[in-house]
Chains A and B, each alone.
Chain A
Amino acid sequence: MIFNIIKKEVKELLTRSTIISLIFVSFILGSIGNFVSKAEEGVSNRSANIIVDDKDSTELSEVFSSLLLKFSDKDFLEKSLDEKIKRLEKEGGAILILEKGFQDSILKGGKGDVKIEWVLKGIGLYDFISSDIIGNGLNYSKNDLTKYLLLKKGIKDENILEPLKLKNENVKVKGKVFKSVDPKLLYSFLGKQTNFVPVIIMMLLIMSGGMIISSMGMEKENKTLETLLTMPVERRDIVLGKIIGGGFVGIIMASIYMVGFYNYMKGFKGFISNSFDIKVFSILDYTFIGVSIFLSLLSGLSLCLLLGIFAKDYKSAQTLTMPVSILALIPFFLTMFRDFDSLSLPLKVIVFLIPFSHPMMSLKLIFFEQYRMLFYGIAYNLLFFILLSIILVKIFNTDYIITGKGFEKLFKRRFF
């Protein structure tokens, strides 16, 4: 008997739409995995753009510099200095400066000065790979230098175990310069800051998007939609009312979560923020972020309402939430790994077209004063919302909203 029940449950739960959305999910997860493994490949390649500026020109400094250059990209090494600097600016890397007196201080039992000028392509996870490679390279080279001092020079002083004094000079990212800071610290600070907004967007979307879809499913199941459609109101008002109502509830729920998240974040913030100066956001900047979030939310909700129209009842509505969450996950991960400007063109297009990307990127964009991109995003979201609303009102004006059929008719007619 139990098998009969199991069979019915499986049949009911494993519908075509669940399977399709599952396939979609696994496809997306697969491509994200691909992206990650590529990133890891980058790390194991163990080569980065390294320029060594040897101001000491002594035996030791030359040995050390050749040790370091083993970690440099082979292509890169063969370029002229001008080209190297150009490529460094474009792709990121570092200039390592061996200061005058490098050899002298080491031989006297002191430490050789090495200054590092970092150049980063962006502040995504992926963009910090080259600084990781260079950091590791410095470590390995230091050990080899110690070996060299021990075996070739016969020095047995314990000071040679730490023969270097490293100094992080500047970190240059997209024309912005952070003074005397370790790239790792910069990442942990900026990363946490800029991942804050994406998390909120995800929460907002999944909460209020899910709500609006199931509300449509419920309206159909209870036939309240039919009643509503016979009320003397414009269909436009019904559509907008649903979207804005959903957005309002979403904002309330998200702010409750945000309080918790903010307190969690506070733990990390304090001790780093005064260690280097960081762009202070103006009220206008916060307004831009707010506008971006709001428009993206409206876009998301209109998308959800569109999906909700396909829901026959409350249950089928539940599975429809999935594609929207996935759509939000794509820019969430992509912008976490890389900055928008260091994505490949197809990825750029995809990320731009997903209406949830723009507020997710907004903090970074403002941070690097890329306001134009920010405005493009806001304009795109506005356009997306208006267009989708028009389509929604059109659909609300057809039989489709009641029967779930007659879609062809919608397309036969002139659209706008």
Chain B
Amino acid sequence: MEVVKVENLQKNFGKVEALRGISFECFKGEIFGLIGPNGAGKSTCLRILSTILSKSGGEVKIFDYDISKKMEIKKIISYLPEDAGAYKNLKGIDYLKFFVNFFIDGKDREKTLEYGIELSSLNERLNDKIETYSKGMVRRLLIARSLMVEPKLAILDEPTSGLDVINATQIRDIIKKKAKEGTTFIVSSHNMLEVDYLCDRISLINNGLIVESGNIGKLKEKYKAQNIEEIFVKVVGVKNDF
């Protein structure tokens, strides 16, 4: 079942053409990777999918809702911005409570909050102010925030960038586990190892255009490549900075 369907999506910032007509789709329960170098248009695409930027052209559908049905879409998605922080003066636990209240009313709040606490694995540190957290702790809190409400679609913009191996692995494992339970993920990344480990299908995006899409294994076969970086180089023709 198609969860996301993007067709000829375009986005201009004044004269800058950030997206020049991209198309892809994602299916239920898969982890879809949007892969590309800096400035390729990954964040722009994810921001449009999460309804906070308008599109300049093309079609976007999420669970059969047109992207203009913002309120319906917001109820079923979660978005994690790149380099996001949290309200520094709040305690971790209050940060989670703040966001629980947007989604669930009444009795289920306790349950959702408990799940958020579990996902964050921050334990008693949740009672400290967020300003005292390390970068990895903040990221775990944000991931917990975005997944505790059991979204149908989670849009994560570089969920592990800037984290050490241990923290990054923890987060990847959470994502994998949730995908098995049926959550659909769109993640962006320029870490090829991560993509290899995490994603089922990918689209390679460069300069606002999707240059190749497909199942990672099949792409490797097609281009006779060892890894995704190699695929990218072969597709684009030049070596890009990742």
Our pick among A222, A230, A406 for the contact of B51 (Cβ within 8 Å) is: A230
B220 contacts chain A at the CB level, 8 A cutoff? no
A8 contacts chain B at the CB level, 8 A cutoff? no
Across the interface, which residues of A come within 8 angstroms of B234, CB to CB?
none
Contact indicator per residue, chain A 191-224, by CB within 8 Å of chain B (1) or not (0): 0000000000000000000000000001001111
- Residues of A219-235 at the interface with B, using a CB-CB cut-off of 8 Å, are 221-224, 226-227, 229-234
Docked Cα-Cα span, A218 to B130, in Å, equals 14
A402 contacts chain B at the CB level, 8 A cutoff? yes
Spot the interface stretch: B23-31, B77-85, B206-214: B77-85
- Residues of A21-74 at the interface with B, using a CB-CB cut-off of 8 Å, are none
B237 contacts chain A at the CB level, 8 A cutoff? no
Across the interface, which residues of B come within 8 angstroms of A227, CB to CB?
79-81, 84, 99, 145
A80 contacts chain B at the CB level, 8 A cutoff? no
Residues A223 and B79 in contact in the complex (CB < 8 Å), given A229-B52, A230-B50, A402-B53: no
Contact-residue size bin, chain A (C-beta under 8 Å from the other chain): 10 to 19
- Residues of B46-91 at the interface with A, using a CB-CB cut-off of 8 Å, are 47, 50-54, 71, 74-75, 77-88
**CB–CB B87/A224 < 8 A:** yes
Docked Cα-Cα span, A130 to B79, in Å, equals 68
Contact-residue size bin, chain B (C-beta under 8 Å from the other chain): 20 to 34
Our pick among B14, B50, B88 for the contact of A222 (Cβ within 8 Å) is: B88
Our pick among B14, B47, B77, B86 for the contact of A405 (Cβ within 8 Å) is: B14
A399 contacts chain B at the CB level, 8 A cutoff? yes
* Nearest A-chain residue to B16, judged by Cβ: A405
A403 contacts chain B at the CB level, 8 A cutoff? yes
Residues A402 and B47 in contact in the complex (CB < 8 Å), given A230-B52, A233-B102: yes
Our pick among A221, A226, A230, A234 for the contact of B77 (Cβ within 8 Å) is: A230
**CB–CB B13/A223 < 8 A:** no
Residues A232 and B74 in contact in the complex (CB < 8 Å), given A402-B53, A403-B13, A403-B53: yes
Docked Cα-Cα span, A234 to B71, in Å, equals 8
- Residues of B33-57 at the interface with A, using a CB-CB cut-off of 8 Å, are 47, 50-54
Residue numbers of A with Cβ under 8 A of B are 218, 221-224, 226-227, 229-234, 398-399, 402-403, 405-406
The 6 closest A-B pairs by CB, nearest first: A222-B85, A223-B84, A232-B74, A223-B81, A230-B79, A226-B81
7 contacts between A and B (CB under 8 A): A218-B88, A224-B85, A227-B80, A230-B79, A232-B102, A233-B102, A406-B13
